[in-house]
Amino acid sequence: MTILKAENISKQYRLGLVGTGTLSHDLNRFWHQIRGKGDPYAKVGGVNDRSAKAKEDYVWALRDINFEVGKGDILGIIGKNGAGKSTLLKILSRVTGPTTGCIKTKGRIASLLEVGTGFHPELTGRENIYLNGAILGMTKAEIAAKEDEIIDFSGCAMYVDTPVKRYSSGMRVRLAFAVAAHLEPDILVVDEVLAVGDAEFQKKAIGKMQDISKGEGRTVLFVSHNMDSVQSLCTSGMVLDNGYTTFTGSATESVNFYTKKQLQKISSYKEFENKGNNFAKIHSIGVNKGSEYSSVSDDIIIELEFSILQESSKRIDASAAIINESDLTVSNVGTGLMDESPIEIIKNIPQKLVFHIEKPNLNSGVYGITIRFIENRAGRAKLRIDDIIFFQIKNIITDTIFVNNSSIIMPRFNVTHSK
């Protein structure tokens, strides 16, 4: 039985100013609205590609999304940052409306979209449990019957009568998930905020979602960058890319499709004409001199050429993070992490940084590089570019007797056996 159906869902946002930018366009839009016609400026829009410079005033965050989810199914929604995953969940949760299309649902929807979503910061954890239950249409008696179970699952018993504004982000996520999962919604929508929780809680949360689906016959929509979680938890999958659906199928098929698409993007050396922002421009980046692949026993050498475009009185540091296929940061190096000197602020003069990581022993797989320029070591990022380049590591070690493709690192080792 279909419990949720999305038909031709599209969502458009305007870049820059909220209005159209001119009085004549605002009046034209108003005239169309009072006549019951569509927005005349909604017809123009670019593809939601964050890596490209905007050429249109409008951008389609989602375009013609169609899918159905049955009762008891767990749908995994995967895609790169900016693919439209969170926007889709906000539409399904009625946080925002679609520009075109409609959503048909049967039953109540509970959502866990962002840290603290649905919580009043001045209310205690216990009061927020009752508030969320009331929003879902439950009676006070129904909520009270679940109260102890929710508090026990969240692990926040000591702080349940403390205002939520004093909770850490991890505590808020644990309590929010416990509330959403135990108040018996027909559809549970979970964004990637579970990454905030520790490993023990993530394991509990995934187990609870499996119980909700298989044991209680409720539907779950799950967004994650962790491909292992998607494959182990979900019954079906959907891949989004720049606002479009590029694949639907089983969870395993969807993960394989997404992984293959990422492999096609592998290039361990790239040059750019206009990559960056008004603070800095990236000219090129390379990993291990642009080699086709590296061995698990190789050093990793990242070479970054850039120019600073603005003066700054603050310390500026650069870092390079290596991200694996499960979106975990396996290494992060930079000028501000030890005693290295900061970036020298010389406007419009090309500079070069070389990050040399000695034998990190990363296991075979595909890795992405995230570049950041940061103020005052731990301050805000002046420039951040995710997945600016991908590189591949292959296991070509021949003097070990064991290969473990499931671990993050591949250490060199030996085993001795005695009687």
Q: CATH number for the domain including 76? A: 3.40.50.300
Average pLDDT over residues 304-331: 87
Cβ distance 151 to 160 under 8 Å? Answer: yes
pLDDT of 226 > 80? The answer is: no
Residue 99's nearest CA partner among 18, 171, 39, 174 is: 39
Residue-level pLDDT at 340: 65
Q: Does pLDDT of 410 surpass 80?
A: no
Judged by DSSP in three states, 87 sits in helix
Task: Give CA–CA dist 327/227, Å, rounded.
Answer: 9
Could you tell me if 80 and 173 lie in one domain?
Answer: yes
Residue 377 has pLDDT above 80, yes or no: no
Residues in the chain: 419
State the chain's mean pLDDT as an integer: 82
**Same domain assignment for residues 246 and 322:** no
Q: How confident is the model at residue 303 (pLDDT cuts 50, 70, 90)?
A: very high
pLDDT score recorded for residue 51:
47
Of 44-58, 71-85, 166-180, the one with minimum mean pLDDT is: 44-58
| In a domain? residue 206 | yes
Domains contained in the chain, number: 2
Measured between alpha carbons, how far is 341 from 96 in angstroms, rounded to an integer?
A: 46
Q: Are 216 and 291 found together in one domain? A: no
Establish if 312 belongs to a structural domain.
yes
Same domain, 13 and 59: yes
384 and 243 belong to one structural domain: no
| 246 and 316 housed in the same domain | no
Task: For residue 51, tell me if it sits in a domain.
Answer: yes
Q: Are residues 35 and 184 in the same domain?
A: yes
Residue 404 lies inside a defined structural domain of this protein: no
Cα separation of 392 and 400, whole Å? 20
pLDDT of residue 47: 52
Whether residue 183 is found in the same domain as residue 288: no
Q: Domain for residue 341, yes or no? A: yes
- For residues 121 and 17, membership in a common domain is answered with yes
Q: What type of residue sits at position 96?
A: T
Query: Which is higher by pLDDT, 76 or 325?
Result: 76
β-bridge partners, 236 = 75
Residue 282 pLDDT > 90: yes
Asked if residue 118 and residue 73 are part of one domain, the reply reads yes
Q: Are residues 252 and 364 in the same domain?
A: no
Mean pLDDT throughout 54-61? 71
pTM, to two decimals? 0.65
Which uninterrupted H or E stretch holds 274? Answer: strand 269-276
> Under a CB-based contact definition with an 8 Å cutoff, are residues 206 and 156 in contact?
no
CATH number at residue 355: 2.70.50.60
Asked if residue 15 is part of any domain, the answer here is yes
Specify if 268 maps to a domain: no
Q: Higher confidence at residue 333 or residue 81?
A: 333
State the pLDDT at residue 20: 54
Instruction: Residue 54: give the domain boundaries.
Output: 2-262
258 and 293 part of one domain:
no
- Whether residue 6 is contained in a domain is answered as yes
Distance CA 124, CA 126 (A): 5
